[in-house]
Structure 1
């Protein structure tokens, strides 16, 4: 058997937009490779598009945290196993997962989300006005992407944006792999307390939002309501913010594709899908645990072993996408796994697409000469953590 790689090797991103180079080698020679996890557990990593979809759709694999092994360390050590949290359905298996997900499915259909377009467009316009008021340059992350995503998401969920100081910073604190465990616990506790205050308010004065409708259904306990609300916030905030900001960075770094989109704005949907495939900000913590002995990719995977799925590697598989390292708005992106695959595929993907579509279009229309304000190599990247992102994106116009 080939030597197992370290989990550290799999996250050694060396370029602005490209996943670790080791993925190309693994995908070609051993698309299912042994990997040593931080706690010493020897599991696997899948890097091909075919294996990624197979693992993520096979009910013989579990996403239950009580038996899984995290593919990263946090707070200076391995992440321990811990009991499932009521309502946190992202780490449940069917049929428990199905019960919670069904309550939210109707909130995120394409038709439902598209009705939010005027609101997203209005927020984008307000943030562009704010950018103009700063002069001829700004940090796109701080001035546009962050408020656009957080305002829209907060309104949809039912969290008052005016009180964002009580919940907006928690995802970054909790997702910082180099952070302090006590600070993370405190951040989660603060968000939890605020969400439960909000639940009490919504019970007294319901609004037109997801939280109010979940309360009205009468099917969830307050603990389940709180954890579902936190999940929607944590899953939908940094991922979309990262995709929008890194997406703009990729556009500005590829002037030929930017020119294609400016020449034909109707290609915006194709551009969004290709950007999602190309940057794949959900870079790790996608893993499953075998519930029984099984065969996968010609290898015997034992019960209890964990298979990490690299979405960035799968989206750069040349067997699925020709010349995958190129950003190409003319390619067929059908089947990309930027939002995962199977029963745990991102429930909020239609919202993310809408925010990317509206955000990119608004920026290109408002700033015909939008450009980076610093050399591309000086844009500070956030390469560690579950979401690939930039720390800031200085632009000028």
Structure 2
């Protein structure tokens, strides 16, 4: 029988909140040594200002020098092919080269062109939720299908493959699984993406993969196209779906805030920013490796050390924002680190924000009586996932 590992400090939560021990580190020494889910030790940085310092300085905190999870179980050739195109694993100038090709697809102008289609997808999901009858699982019928359909259409992924890549994404992000199972999921994912890329190269469509093949086919290798597609599909699907599920649970637990979003469209934009800060669903950014000795919060950290940033702790830092433990959708929480910071700031942030700005009000207006099916039921949190959320959310209306 496989024993479930203990949750590392930086992934421990008390419901929506980081555990008190993590807050004590942030408000005390600021940095602590921890064991990573990948079997090595690292310095965990917890203060908002220090997290921004690490993320904004790729020269001293390198992404490229950090081995990705499971690389130790692969040959050098396979490891290189797996890493190709993965923007989060590169520093400038290589990171800049790759990101420059994708940036035009994620501008606000491009996102505004997508808005009517996203609205249609949201309405279709709400229809499906209503047809399911109450009580229904909001994750299955709403939080999951909305972003997955959006990113599928953007990348040209067949809708029929949605369930398959969701199951694989869950395994990829589950730190409780043995590494060989997560490596197997990486290999399955790469094989699937390679098939998509081959089809796009043979017949480029109007989706993003087709655009990359047509406009940058001479600049990007097939392996790089596979890596880019896999990263965008995983990030665009898992993060927003968990924000919609966990965010709805947070609003149902704060009914006065929920009512403001439902009744006043002007509240939606600041509410999304506050939910991003307060929930901080990305628990673990890829670690950085120090290229020289550095000092953080008065701690000398040697060259060659792994450094991790706790976004939940940083976004609840009282030095960053007043009364950080309170959800207050009126303040907007400008400057939060939920999308990261610096050169690796989330490329898809405009898309995620748009999906949430459309989805939350539409849900709350379609179902003004939305409520938890069983208010006393314990939430089914994704405790071991790199992207925090809920597995299921049973609601009625």
Q: Could you tell me the TM-score, scaled by structure 1's length? A: 0.91
Question: How many Å separate the matches in 1 of 2:386 and 2:370?
Answer: 29
Question: How far has the Cα of 1:165 moved from its partner?
Answer: 4.4
Question: How far has the Cα of 1:193 moved from its partner?
Answer: 2.6
Aligned partner of 2:204 in structure 1 is: 206
Question: How far has the Cα of 1:33 moved from its partner?
Answer: 2.5
**Structure 2: runs of 5+ lacking an equivalent:** 1-5
Question: How far has the Cα of 1:306 moved from its partner?
Answer: 1.6
1:331 is aligned to 2:331: yes
Residue deviations 1:18-76, cap 9 Å, x none? 01211221121111223344677553111111001001101211112x54587xxx9xx
Partners of 1:68 and 1:289 within 8 A in 2: no
Aligned partner of 2:105 in structure 1 is: 107
Aligned partner of 1:23 in structure 2 is: 22
1:91 is aligned to 2:89: yes
- Which SS does the other structure have where 2:283 is aligned? coil
| Residue correspondence of structure 1 range 356-371 to structure 2 within 5 A | 356-371=356-371
Aligned partner of 1:127 in structure 2 is: 125
Partners of 1:7 and 1:35 within 8 A in 2: no
- Which SS does the other structure have where 1:45 is aligned? strand
- Which SS does the other structure have where 1:208 is aligned? coil
Higher relative contact order (CA 8 A, sep 6+): 2
1:48 is aligned to 2:33: no
Aligned partner of 1:3 in structure 2 is: none
| Residue correspondence of structure 1 range 285-364 to structure 2 within 5 A | 285-364=285-364
Quick one: which of 133, 157, 164 aligns to 2:155? Answer: 157
Aligned partner of 2:269 in structure 1 is: 269
Question: How many Å separate the matches in 1 of 2:248 and 2:138?
Answer: 9
Partners of 1:195 and 1:226 within 8 A in 2: yes
Query: How many matched pairs?
Result: 384
- Pair 1:79–1:113, CA change in 2 (3 A): farther
- Pair 1:232–1:37, CA change in 2 (3 A): closer
Residue deviations 1:297-330, cap 9 Å, x none? 2221110112211001110001111111111012
Question: How far has the Cα of 1:375 moved from its partner?
Answer: 2.0
Q: Could you tell me the TM-score, scaled by structure 2's length? A: 0.91
- Pair 1:53–1:390, CA change in 2 (3 A): same
**Structure 1: runs of 5+ lacking an equivalent:** 1-5
- The worse-fitting range, judged by mean Cα deviation, of 196-205 and 215-224 is 196-205
* Moved segments of 4+, more than 6 Å: 78-82
